């Protein structure tokens, strides 16, 4: 199968873990990017106010039961902030379309933008390969950081490298 710009579309069942369905994807000269089938759409009915068990089973939580959530602007891929979610925060995020975090300091849930107006509208959520981090792509309204800057990494600032600049281009 041939895809855009001469890339080859593959679906190789022999190289994936048992039980993982893989959609065919187009690959270029760099790598074979196999994409797992999306997790099931979360149940949102009030009779079942829990995270789908198939999603919950894949989460690898820290000692406090939390998973790191990296928040990224969906169209620019700018990393805006990092927060923490437990199963309930993730369920709310998936079902309500707005990002909900679990505050480690207050031990309570908070939905981004409820007090500041700086809302994060969810565009997609992905789980990393280890299950210990979420990538939440959003449409950010206003500042993402509580300091008023666009990102929390602007507010934190760069850290100087002790080894100099990294070389440019691919390394053999």
Query: Residue ranges of the domains in the chain?
Result: 4-36, 53-156
Architecture of domain 53-156 in this structure: Roll (3.10)
Quote the CA–CA distance of 6 and 27 in Å, as a whole number: 9
pLDDT the model gives residue 23: 43
Residue pLDDT, tens place only, 17-56: 444 444 444 444 444 444 455 555 555 444 457 888 888 8
pLDDT the model gives residue 138: 97
pLDDT the model gives residue 50: 84
What is the DSSP-derived secondary structure letter of residue 109? E
Tell me how many degrees the CA angle 39-44-48 measures, rounded to the nearest 5. 100
Residues of the chain with pLDDT under 50: 1-35, 44-47
pTM above 0.75, yes or no: no
pLDDT the model gives residue 25: 44
pLDDT the model gives residue 155: 82
* Backbone phi, psi, residue 41, to 5°: -65, 130
Quote the CA–CA distance of 172 and 17 in Å, as a whole number: 29
Within 10 Å of residue 5's Cβ, how many Cβ atoms?
7
């Amino acid at each position: 199968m041939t895809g855009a710009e001469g890339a080859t579309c593959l679906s190789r069942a022999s190289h994936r873990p048992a039980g993982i369905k893989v959609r065919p994807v187009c690959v270029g000269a760099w790598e074979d990017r196999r994409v797992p089938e999306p997790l099931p759409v979360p149940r949102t009915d009030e009779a079942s106010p829990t995270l789908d068990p198939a999603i919950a089973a894949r989460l690898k939580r820290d000692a406090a039961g939390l998973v790191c959530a990296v928040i990224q602007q969906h169209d620019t891929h700018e990393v805006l902030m990092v927060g923490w979610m437990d199963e309930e925060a993730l369920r709310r995020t998936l079902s309500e379309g707005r990002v909900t975090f679990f505050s480690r300091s207050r031990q309570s849930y908070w939905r981004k933008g409820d007090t500041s107006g700086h809302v994060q509208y969810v565009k997609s959520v992905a789980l990393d390969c280890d299950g210990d981090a979420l990538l939440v792509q959003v449409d950010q309204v206003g500042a993402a950081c509580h300091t008023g800057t666009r990102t929390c990494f602007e507010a934190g600032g760069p850290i100087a490298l002790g080894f100099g600049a990294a070389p440019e281009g691919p390394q053999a």
